[in-house]
């Protein structure tokens, strides 16, 4: 076990835990934002650099501070480590820079983007970004690509977090989804536009933090904040069958996996549940689902099922 | 008497062939190491020699070797980093082209010291003809019994392969090199774990530069203490410097560490002074990544001491008034050269070579390039200079691998030392264009907008 202090909160965690996961035990403002790390995907993390933190004391044995800011999602804690997240101006400054970098090649057109309301980049920019951009050049643009009948890829919005690549690698068999080219020309691609033909391919939509991979059966049907999320389950022979139905009245507009308070899916669902079961009668509805207050989705007039002061934990 | 340990025989006719190399005393180090030394003795000699990595970072080689994890039953690998892609650096090319057997000899001795039975030379794809030279040399070495099973009857086995990259600067970063060698996309890995613990195919791995491995040969032949006699302080031995730019004698020179920059730049033995009798304007002493030095800081440090060609002296003054020895790519600029244009050129390179994995480098390098392009072509604004400073500061230190730093340092140092020139480009764009491109026409201005 290792004792680590993050922004003045001390927690004890098993050896090998990353700083980010330790911070998530503390919760609240102490948790660094993460755009690429995904706890259920092996190898993810370290890329977006939004989770940078300052290590002001290395460990009990070696108290020297680390010279550079470190990615909290991939740096394991040491006993006696002291970490500064929100309390370090250096971190906040660097994070502001990262948000700006992520946004220079990302279109600033949230009003017409299908992901708006549940977009992690939108949340991140809302909390850490600046209100105006200093970027005055042409942004990179791509044509929209349909990957099979259910998924649409719009690389223009991609922030190259690689989550979908890991999902495709680890959840589906046969590697057809990856990254081509390099630098700011890099793009997510299914090699030779081959459709991902797999029962779990729909999960790339859920792991995508931005509007680059969207559900073709839901695109532009509704803004997410006009739909009501309901926890529901069904007996499924392929997956856990636990999902969230996004409903308007009694109509199911779309089905997604359940995301925890950090926006991560712990139990992935299959394409049958996601795309084919769109009737309320297909499901056993458990009740309304809570949504994280920090998200832009709740900044509007979203109806809250429970009082505001309840912890941010989901029921899942 | 200046000693040359690596390329003194480079002029011998036919030295690239096995027979001539052997006749000139080649493979003595292998005989000595395998027959009379234990692997740890070789590591000890390298430690005593004070040899530091010649690829740019200057980390002590002996210490790097001693960090190698040695779990039972797991193979260990030695990789030679011949992905020499830093603009201004072409020393490894010279060494491999002229004396390929020196590298092979170094690989055998180093592999023996580390207990590696399979070793790879990862060479950049653009050096395809050198790949053929090395493959021929390796075939000769196999035939003569220096590689393969039971070398010299000692029971030590070693297989050596050459593997070409596909033309990516980033594959010179050790973990990207390992990924590429494994057949994957050349993206740097997130550290820790370091290659010494988990490298090639998850096994302990050491990655060394070509020159570092070649330097092991004279260290084994003459002893580490003898090697350490050359040089000043912690900068021991000799170093290959590839000099280019506005000098009379560009080329690859082997210097004893500790000669003065003044001597290197102006003596006829080395660079031979600035071409066409012009004045020195600036110098990049260690490849494009290291900070640029203005003329008054090249031969003297800020404290007024003589600057020497050593790791410490070139870094004297930190990034404020110093630079780095780096990979030894010595680029000299005369009074006619434009620092804005040069910085743009470097940044264009880093933008092109960024792997695109982490956000600050992927987006920041492209942004810097566009801003610098605008400044260079007469459309810059005063705010651009502050903006550039801010972008580089946000990239530096916040990336997965050192490419982000390498892209930020040249911009930072150019702004630090040559801010007037940037401002001049903003205030007098026509004059700046006139100097850099001759007569300024509407067309040039339009091209800048495109």
Contacts of A52 in chain B (CB under 8 A): 398
Quick one: pLDDT at residue A1? 87
> Which of A74-78, A167-171, A290-294, B14-18 has the lowest average pLDDT?
A290-294
Burial class (CB in 10 A: 0-12, 13-18, 19+), A274: buried
Quick one: pLDDT at residue A169? 81
Q: Least CB-CB distance to B359: which of A45, A49, A182?
A: A49
State which fold the A105-298 domain adopts: Alpha-Beta Plaits (3.30.70)
Q: Least CB-CB distance to B363: which of A67, A162, A184?
A: A184
Interface of B with A in 168-187 (CB under 8 A): 168, 170, 185
Grade residue B338 by pLDDT with cuts at 50, 70 and 90.
Answer: very high
Contacts of A50 in chain B (CB under 8 A): 359
Hey, is the C-beta of A185 within 8 angstroms of any chain B C-beta? yes
CA distance A49 to A206: 21
Q: Is the pLDDT of residue B426 over 90?
A: yes
> Which of A246-255, A291-300, B51-60 has the lowest average pLDDT?
A291-300
Cis peptide bond prior to B193, omega within 30° of 0:
yes
Nearest-Cα distance to chain A for B66, in Å, is 21
Q: Is the pLDDT of residue A310 over 50?
A: no
Mean pLDDT of A40-69: 90
Mean pLDDT of chain A: 84
Alpha helices in chain A (DSSP H): 19-26, 89-104, 120-128, 163-171, 203-207, 271
DSSP state of B304: S
Hey, is the C-beta of B397 within 8 angstroms of any chain A C-beta? yes
Higher pLDDT pick, B412 / A223: B412
Grade residue A304 by pLDDT with cuts at 50, 70 and 90.
Answer: very low
What's the sign of the alpha-carbon dihedral B234, B237, B242, B248? positive
Q: Cβ–Cβ contacts within 10 Å for residue A92, how many?
A: 16
Q: Which residues contact A11 (CB under 8 A, 6 or more apart)?
A: A3, A4, A22, A25, A26
Quick one: pLDDT at residue A174? 66
Mean pLDDT of B64-84: 91
Domain B232-334, what architecture? Roll (3.10)
Q: What are phi and psi of B377, to 5 degrees?
A: -95, 25
Asked if B351 and A184 come within 8 Å (Cβ–Cβ), the reply is: yes
Q: Is the pLDDT of residue B40 over 70?
A: yes
Hey, is the C-beta of A100 within 8 angstroms of any chain B C-beta? yes
Asked if B360 and A49 come within 8 Å (Cβ–Cβ), the reply is: yes
Q: What is the pLDDT of residues A225-276, one digit of tens each?
A: 888 888 999 998 888 889 999 988 889 999 999 888 888 888 899 989 999 9
How far is the CA of A264 from the CAs of A36, A39, A51, A157, in angstroms? 11, 7, 15, 20
List the single residue in A with minimal CA-CA distance to B449: A137
Mean pLDDT of A42-62: 90
Interface of B with A in 272-311 (CB under 8 A): none
> Which of A196-210, A234-248, B323-337 has the lowest average pLDDT?
A196-210
Maximum mean pLDDT: which of B378-382, B407-411, B434-438, B443-447: B407-411
Quick one: pLDDT at residue B148? 92
Q: What is the pLDDT of residues B108-126, one digit of tens each?
A: 999 999 999 999 999 999 9
What's the sign of the alpha-carbon dihedral A7, A10, A11, A14? positive
Burial class (CB in 10 A: 0-12, 13-18, 19+), A46: buried
Per-domain residue ranges for chain B? 18-227, 232-334, 339-449
What dotted CATH number matches B339-449? 1.20.1440.230
How far is the CA of B259 from the CAs of A201, B232, B238, in angstroms? 63, 9, 10
Hey, is the C-beta of A128 within 8 angstroms of any chain B C-beta? no
List the single residue in B with minimal CA-CA distance to A133: B387
Q: What is the pLDDT of residues A84-116, one digit of tens each?
A: 999 999 999 999 999 999 999 999 888 889 888
Kindly report, as residue ranges, where domains of CATH 3.30.70.20 are found in chain A: 105-298
Asked if A182 and B359 come within 8 Å (Cβ–Cβ), the reply is: no
Hey, is the C-beta of A178 within 8 angstroms of any chain B C-beta? yes
Hey, is the C-beta of B399 within 8 angstroms of any chain A C-beta? yes
Q: What is the dihedral of CA B373, B374, B380, B384, to 10 degrees?
A: -70
Q: Is the pLDDT of residue A302 over 50?
A: no
CA distance B300 to B322: 10
Mean pLDDT of chain B: 91
Mean pLDDT of A161-173: 83
Q: In what helix (H) or strand (E) does residue B29 lie, and over which residues does it extend?
A: helix B28-36
Quick one: pLDDT at residue A315? 42
Mutation pick from A182, A189, A191 vs chain B, by most beta carbons of B within 10 Å, is A182
Quick one: pLDDT at residue A228? 85
Residue percentage of chain B with pLDDT more than 70:
97
Grade residue A294 by pLDDT with cuts at 50, 70 and 90.
Answer: low
Grade residue B176 by pLDDT with cuts at 50, 70 and 90.
Answer: very high
Q: Which residues contact B226 (CB under 8 A, 6 or more apart)?
A: none
> Which of A169-178, A197-206, B277-286, B303-312 has the lowest average pLDDT?
A169-178
Alpha helices in B298-427 (DSSP H): 311-314, 318-321, 339-353, 359-376, 382-395, 403-417, 419-427
Top-level class of domain A2-100 = alpha beta
Q: Least CB-CB distance to A184: which of B362, B393, B395?
A: B362
Hey, is the C-beta of A102 within 8 angstroms of any chain B C-beta? yes
Q: Is the pLDDT of residue B339 over 70?
A: yes
According to DSSP, the β-strands at A151-154 and A2-6 are unpaired
Nearest-Cα distance to chain A for B354, in Å, is 5
Q: Is the pLDDT of residue A300 over 70?
A: no
CA distance B100 to B21: 9
List the single residue in A with minimal CA-CA distance to B187: A182
Quick one: pLDDT at residue B450? 59
Q: In what helix (H) or strand (E) does residue B443 lie, and over which residues does it extend?
A: helix B442-449
Hey, is the C-beta of A74 within 8 angstroms of any chain B C-beta? yes
Maximum mean pLDDT: which of A259-263, B96-100, B189-193: B96-100
Helix axes A89-104, B382-395, angle to 10 degrees: 110
Could you give the ipTM of this predicted complex?
Answer: 0.86
Q: Cβ–Cβ contacts within 10 Å for residue A313, how many?
A: 11
Q: B183-192 long-range CB contacts below 8 Å, 24 or more apart? A: B185/A178, B185/A179, B186/B355, B187/B355, B187/B357, B188/B355, B188/B357, B188/B400, B188/B401, B188/B403, B190/A45, B190/A46, B190/A71, B190/A74, B190/B400, B192/A76
Contacts of A183 in chain B (CB under 8 A): 351-356, 362, 365-366
Q: Is the pLDDT of residue A313 over 50?
A: no
How far is the CA of B356 from the CAs of A4, B188, B231, in angstroms? 32, 10, 40
Q: Which residues contact A264 (CB under 8 A, 6 or more apart)?
A: A38, A39, A40
Q: In what helix (H) or strand (E) does residue B263 lie, and over which residues does it extend?
A: helix B261-266
Hey, is the C-beta of A68 within 8 angstroms of any chain B C-beta? yes
Contacts of A182 in chain B (CB under 8 A): 168, 170, 353-356
According to DSSP, the β-strands at A284-288 and A228-233 are antiparallel
Nearest-Cα distance to chain A for B359, in Å, is 5
How far is the CA of B67 from the CAs of B62, B176, B305, B416, in angstroms? 9, 20, 36, 38
Q: Using an 8 Å Cβ cutoff, are A222 and A183 in contact? A: no
The candidate with the shortest Cα–Cα distance to B310, out of B301, B302, B62, is B301
The total number of residues shown for chain A amounts to 316
Q: Choose the CATH number for B18-227 among 3.20.20.140, 3.40.50.2300, 3.90.420.10, 3.40.50.11540.
A: 3.40.50.11540
Asked if A186 and B364 come within 8 Å (Cβ–Cβ), the reply is: no
CA distance A67 to A72: 14
């Amino acid at each position: 076990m290792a004792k680590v202090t993050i922004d003045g909160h001390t927690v004890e965690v098993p050896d090998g835990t990353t700083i980010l996961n330790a911070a998530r035990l503390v919760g609240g403002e102490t948790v660094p934002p993460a755009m690429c790390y995904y706890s259920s995907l092996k190898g993810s993390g370290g890329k977006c650099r939004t989770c940078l933190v300052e290590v002001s004391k290395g460990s009990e044995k070696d108290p020297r501070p680390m010279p550079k800011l470190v990615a909290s999602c991939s740096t394991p804690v040491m006993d006696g480590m002291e970490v500064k997240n929100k309390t370090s101006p250096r971190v906040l400054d660097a994070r502001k820079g990262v948000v700006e970098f992520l946004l220079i090649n990302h279109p600033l057109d949230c009003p017409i983007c299908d992901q708006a309301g549940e977009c992690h980049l939108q949340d991140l920019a809302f909390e850490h970004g600046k209100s105006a951009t200093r970027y005055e050049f042409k942004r990179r643009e791509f044509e929209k690509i349909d990957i099979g009948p259910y998924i649409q890829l719009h690389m223009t919005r991609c922030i190259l977090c690689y989550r979908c690549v890991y999902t495709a690698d680890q959840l589906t068999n046969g590697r057809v989804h990856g990254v081509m080219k390099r630098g700011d020309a890099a793009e997510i691609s299914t090699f030779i536009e081959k459709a991902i033909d797999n029962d779990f391919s729909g999960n790339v939509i859920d792991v995508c933090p931005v509007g680059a991979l969207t559900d073709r059966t839901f695109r532009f049907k509704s803004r997410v904040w006009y739909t009501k999320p309901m926890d529901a389950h069904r007996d499924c022979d392929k997956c856990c069958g636990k999902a969230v139905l996004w409903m308007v009245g009694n109509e199911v507009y779309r089905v997604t996996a359940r995301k925890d308070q950090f926006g991560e899916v712990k139990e992935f669902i299959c394409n049958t549940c996601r795309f084919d079961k769109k009737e309320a009668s297909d499901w056993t509805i458990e009740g309304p689902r809570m949504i994280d207050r920090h998200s832009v989705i709740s900044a509007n007039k979203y109806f809250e099922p429970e009082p505001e002061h309840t912890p941010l934990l989901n029921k899942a | 008497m200046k000693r040359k340990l690596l390329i003194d025989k480079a002029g011998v006719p036919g030295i690239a062939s096995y027979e001539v190399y052997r006749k000139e005393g080649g493979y003595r180090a292998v005989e000595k190491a395998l027959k009379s030394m234990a692997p740890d003795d070789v590591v000890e000699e390298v430690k005593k020699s004070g040899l530091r990595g010649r690829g740019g970072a200057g980390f002590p080689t002996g210490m790097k070797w001693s960090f190698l994890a040695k779990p039972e039953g797991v193979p260990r690998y030695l990789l030679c980093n011949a992905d020499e892609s830093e603009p201004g650096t072409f020393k490894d090319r010279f060494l491999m082209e002229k004396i390929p057997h020196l590298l092979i000899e170094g690989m055998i001795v180093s592999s023996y010291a580390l207990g590696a039975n399979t070793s790879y030379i990862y060479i950049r794809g653009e050096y395809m003809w050198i790949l053929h030279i090395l493959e021929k040399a390796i075939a000769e070495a196999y035939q003569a019994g220096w590689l393969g099973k039971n070398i010299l009857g000692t029971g030590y086995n070693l297989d050596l392969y050459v593997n070409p990259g596909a033309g990516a600067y980033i594959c010179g970063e050790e973990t990207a090199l390992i990924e590429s060698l494994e057949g994957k996309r050349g993206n740097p890995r997130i550290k820790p774990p370091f290659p010494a613990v988990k490298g090639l195919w998850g096994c302990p791995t050491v990655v060394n530069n070509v020159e570092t491995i070649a330097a092991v040969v004279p260290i084994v032949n003459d002893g580490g203490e003898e090697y350490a006699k050359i040089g000043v302080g912690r900068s021991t031995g000799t170093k290959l410097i590839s000099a280019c730019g506005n000098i009379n004698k560009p080329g690859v020179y082997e210097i004893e560490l500790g000669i003065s920059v003044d001597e290197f730049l102006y003596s006829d033995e080395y660079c031979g002074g600035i071409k066409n009798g012009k004045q020195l304007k600036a110098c990049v002493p260690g490849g494009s990544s290291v900070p640029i030095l203005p003329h008054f800081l090249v031969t003297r440090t800020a404290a007024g001491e003589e600057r020497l060609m050593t790791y410490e002296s070139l870094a004297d003054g930190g990034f404020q008034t110093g630079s780095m020895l780096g990979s030894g790519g010595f680029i000299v600029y005369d009074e006619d050269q434009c620092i804005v244009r040069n910085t743009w050129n470097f940044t264009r390179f880093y933008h092109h070579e960024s792997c695109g994995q982490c956000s600050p480098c992927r987006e920041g390098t492209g942004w810097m390039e566009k801003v610098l392009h605008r400044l260079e072509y007469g459309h810059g604004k005063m705010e651009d200079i502050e903006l550039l400073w801010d972008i580089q500061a946000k990239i530096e230190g916040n990336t997965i691998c050192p490419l982000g730093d390498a892209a930020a340092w040249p911009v930072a140092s150019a702004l630090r030392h040559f801010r007037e020139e940037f401002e001049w480009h903003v205030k007098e764009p026509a004059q700046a264009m006139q100097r850099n491109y001759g007569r300024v026409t509407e067309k040039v201005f339009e091209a800048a907008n495109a």
